[in-house]
Structure 1
Amino acid sequence: MMKAKIVYASMTGNDEDMAEILEEDLQDLGFDTDSTEVAFADASDYLESDLCIFITYTYGEGTMTDEIADFYDQLKELDLTGKYFAVMGSGDKTYGEHFCENVFDYQSAFLACGATEITAPVTIENSPDDEAIAAIDHAAEEMADKLDA
């Protein structure tokens, strides 16, 4: 059984909602999933999983909050060769070019660690609406298809 580790950072609950939707989807698709809030996670937790997922918000103009920055620094030290990853997150489009910037920061960090991207980043505005839930569901199906979960 494929193991998926979901780590999420949530200030308003939007990203926690995304993590819960994704975790349920992946469990339904046959994954052994574990979900942890970033404050209680260590990036090395990803070493025990086949699929590494990070879900984050972007605050303001993309400056990482301390908890997100600490985890990011831990992540950059890892070798995730042979692992797959996906990134998701929420943001506010009023910040223009900074919309969901931290999602893409994490995408770059996972690639630098040698992990293989399994699905395109899912970025949503604010809380997950029906369209966002459909995008999360689609991403989960894509992960299952590519990993034969």
Structure 2
Amino acid sequence: MKSILMIYASMSGNTEEIADILENELQKFDIQLTREQFDIEEPDPLHLKMYDGVLFGTYTWGDGDLPYEVEDYYEEMENVTLESLKVGLFGSCDSMYPKYGEALDIMRDQFQKQGAQIVAVPLKVELDPEAEDARAARELAHTLMQYLEVKVTRIS
């Protein structure tokens, strides 16, 4: 059975709402899902090596920065080799700021630098997810399952 870690930071609840959509979709598969949230737990990047796949979510702070609760995690990832890890990224973004969803791009680059394989373009949702965003989130879940060679039956 494949193991998936979904880890995310959410300030307004929008990224958490995307995580809920992903979790609901992933429950359709025979996988072991672990869900962690920054601020509730203090996640350890070394734990990434325990999983076959990761869904990493974050909002972007200010004009394109990582949220403060993700900064240490980002830095600690420098010491972790992730060569067999499959990763999808998601998060709530705000087009009012000059760098749209930049935190997702920063984390994508860090995962790649550590050897992880990014399975899709980061899912950037304008504020709270609408119906088309929910569909895109479900597609992200299915794409990750395909990379992990978990049978995909249909996208609802």
Report the TM-score, using the length of structure 2 for normalisation. Answer: 0.90
The 5 Å alignment of 1:1-149 reads 1-39=1-39, 40=41, 41-96=43-98, 98-149=99-150
How far, CA to CA, are the matches of 1:18 and 1:76 in structure 2? 27
Kindly state the Cα deviation for residue 79 of structure 1 after the two structures are TM-superposed.
0.4
Q: What's the % identity of the aligned pairs?
A: 28
For the residue of structure 2 that corresponds to 1:82, the secondary structure is coil
Looking at structure 2, the residues matched to 20 and 128 of structure 1 have their Cα atoms a distance apart, in angstroms, of 11
Residue 55 of structure 1 and its aligned partner are, at CA, apart by: 0.1
Q: Check conservation: 2:90, 2:104, Cα contact below 8 A.
A: yes
Contact 2:87 2:144 in 1 (8 A): no
Once residues 36 and 146 of structure 1 are traced to their aligned partners in structure 2, the CA distance between those partners, rounded to angstroms, is 22
Cα distance in 1 for partners of 2:133, 2:149 equals 24
Structure 1 letter corresponding to 2:144: M
Does the CA contact (< 8 Å) of 1:7 and 1:54 recur in 2?
A: yes
Query: C-alpha displacement at 1:123, in angstroms?
Result: 0.5
Residue 21 of structure 1, CA deviation: 1.2
Runs (4 or more) in structure 1 with deviation over 4 Å come to none
| Contact 1:59 1:91 (8 Å CA) reproduced | no
Structure 1: 5+ residue runs without aligned partners? none
C-alpha displacement of 1:42:
1.5
- Partners of 1:13 and 1:112 in 2: CA distance: 29
Report which of the two has the higher share of helix. Answer: 1
The alpha-carbon deviation at position 43 of structure 1 amounts to: 1.4
Cα separation, 1, equivalents of 2:77 and 2:126: 25
Given residue 52 of structure 1, which amino acid in structure 2 is its aligned partner?
Answer: V
Deviations 1:21-43 (A, max 9, x none): 11221221222111101231211
Give the partner amino acid of 1:121: P
Q: What does the per-residue CA deviation read over 1:125-147, in whole Å, with 9 as the maximum and x for residues that have no partner?
A: 10111111010011111111222
* Aligned partner letter, 1:67: E
Superposed CA RMSD = 1.2
